[in-house]
Amino acid sequence: MNSSDIFDVRGLGVIVTGGASGLGLGFAEALAANGARVTLMDMNETTLAAQVERLSGLGYDVRGVRLDVTDRPALHQAFDETTALYGRLDVVFANAGIDPGPGFVTGTIGSNDRTRPEEFALENYADARWDRVIEVNLNSVFSTLKAAARNMKPQRRGRIIVTTSIAAFANEAAIGAAYMATKAGAAHLMRNAALELAKHNIRVNAIAPGPFLTNIGDGYIQDPKIQEVFARAVPLGRIGKPADMTGLALFLASEASSFVTGEQIVIDGGAHMGMPD
């Protein structure tokens, strides 16, 4: 088997949650550009429609479903309908997520000049903020795994890829507590699902990004000055772009990763290693 065969995703039925922007859009475009049939699920109806129109205009087989991933009945219905439409469900990217705001300290990366915003101190952290992040970033991963497993087990094959973060294993005081907890939880849930679903020939893995150019956190990283700050903490000297995910997305979605499951693959330009002095 040559390399073009093992990375072949043509005709696969794919779902990407949070697929209308950022990394989710990157995953969706990577698969669609290589011949997969892709359903983008996102709650932002305007952005979703625009991206479906753009990708369809490129000749890709894509469709959009307006969906709040915290609405479990709607999510399960959308998965069932998509599986029925495609006749199978081959690949799911459990990608939807939100940013909970800053951590208990703020300031420039690598600087000792940090202040403590009382709003985000542990004793003041809003219950509603915590609950919302848990619901979107962790509970929806559980719901997505559940919906994917129910549709993949009868066909005895499938690939599920969860978006976690380097926050899953590296503490960072400038990132909100709820985000840290959800990404660590999603990583552990992924491994447990991989263990359970292996006997059904369903592979479950995770992608753990570092700093990437997305719209999360109201797009604060779109600011060139913020990008410079993050880039200084990355050994490769820049932050990632969604297009940098193409190779890894195709690897995990295709037979190239046929003997890989339960893994959390870091893609961060080396940021988790720290910069040398």
The catalytic site residues sit at 179
- To 5 degrees, how large is the angle CA 242–CA 249–CA 244? 30
CA distance 85 to 145: 19
Strand 91-94 and strand 202-209: the pairing is: unpaired
Cα distances (Å, whole numbers) of residue 170 to 16, 133, 208, 264, 274: 26, 19, 11, 13, 11
Tokens of 136: 């979107």
Answer positive or negative: Cα dihedral of 237, 242, 243, 249.
positive
Residues 255 and 6 sit within 8 Å (Cβ to Cβ)? yes
Question: How many C-beta atoms lie closer than 10 Å to residue 29's C-beta?
Answer: 25
CA distance 165 to 180: 9
CA distance 186 to 140: 10
**Displacement of CA 175 from its chain's centroid (Å):** 17
